[in-house]
Amino acid sequence: MREYLGEIYRLAHSPAGVSTSELAERLEVSPSAVVRMLRRLQQSGMLTHTPYKSVQLTPAGEREALASIRRHRLLEVFLVKVMGFGWDEVHEQAHGLQLTITDAFEDRMDTVCGYPTHCPHGDPIPTKDGRLAAVNDQPLLETPLGAQAVIRRVKTDDPAKLRYLAELGLVPGRAVQVAGRAPFNGPVRLRLMDGGTGRAEPVLGTEVAQALRVEVTA
Query: Given 92, 109, 134, which residue is the final one in a domain?
Result: 134
What integer pLDDT is reported at residue 146 of this predicted model?
95
What integer pLDDT is reported at residue 54 of this predicted model?
74
| 48 and 84 part of one domain | no
What integer pLDDT is reported at residue 93 of this predicted model?
93
Q: At what angle do helices 20-27 and 31-43 cross, to 10 degrees?
A: 100
Least confident of 4-8, 13-17, 109-113, 181-185: 13-17
- What integer is the mean pLDDT of 49-65? 86
| 103 and 159 part of one domain | no
Using only C-alpha atoms, what is the Rg of the chain? Answer: 19
- Maximum separation of any 2 CA atoms in the chain, in Å: 55
- What integer is the mean pLDDT of 209-215? 97
Query: Given 39, 57, 75, which residue is the final one in a domain?
Result: 57
Taking the C-alpha atoms of residue 141 and residue 205, their distance in angstroms, rounded to an integer, is: 10
What integer pLDDT is reported at residue 55 of this predicted model?
83
- Across the chain, how many H-helices and E-strands are there? 8, 8
| 153 and 202 part of one domain | yes
| 144 and 183 part of one domain | yes
Helix, strand or coil for residue 216? strand
Q: How confident is the model at residue 165 (pLDDT cuts 50, 70, 90)?
A: very high
CATH of the domain at 82: 1.10.10.10
Which residues, in sequence order, are CB contacts of 51 under 8 Å at separation 6+?
A: none
Give the amino acid at 59.
P
What integer pLDDT is reported at residue 152 of this predicted model?
97
Model pLDDT for residues 13-24, shown as the tens digit of each residue: 776 667 888 888
Query: Given 134, 160, 179, which residue is the final one in a domain?
Result: 134
Q: How confident is the model at residue 137 (pLDDT cuts 50, 70, 90)?
A: very high
Taking the C-alpha atoms of residue 20 and residue 38, their distance in angstroms, rounded to an integer, is: 9
The torsion angles phi and psi of 124, rounded to 5 degrees, stand at: -70, 145
- What integer is the mean pLDDT of 107-127? 97
What integer pLDDT is reported at residue 24 of this predicted model?
85
Taking the C-alpha atoms of residue 204 and residue 218, their distance in angstroms, rounded to an integer, is: 21
The torsion angles phi and psi of 215, rounded to 5 degrees, stand at: -110, 120
Sort strands 138-139 and 175-181 into parallel, antiparallel or unpaired.
Answer: unpaired
Least confident of 8-22, 53-67, 116-130, 163-177: 8-22
Task: Please count the structural domains in the chain.
Answer: 3
- What integer is the mean pLDDT of 130-136? 92
Q: How confident is the model at residue 196 (pLDDT cuts 50, 70, 90)?
A: low
Q: How confident is the model at residue 2 (pLDDT cuts 50, 70, 90)?
A: confident
Taking the C-alpha atoms of residue 141 and residue 209, their distance in angstroms, rounded to an integer, is: 7
Model pLDDT for residues 177-195, shown as the tens digit of each residue: 999 999 988 999 999 987 6
| Domain span including residue 7 | 2-57
Q: Is residue 142 part of a domain?
A: yes
| 12 and 45 part of one domain | yes
| 105 and 84 part of one domain | yes
How far is residue 141 from each of residues 11, 176, 186, 194, 204, measured CA to CA in Å?
21, 13, 10, 21, 10
Sort strands 212-216 and 138-139 into parallel, antiparallel or unpaired.
Answer: antiparallel
Least confident of 23-32, 73-82, 111-120, 144-153: 23-32
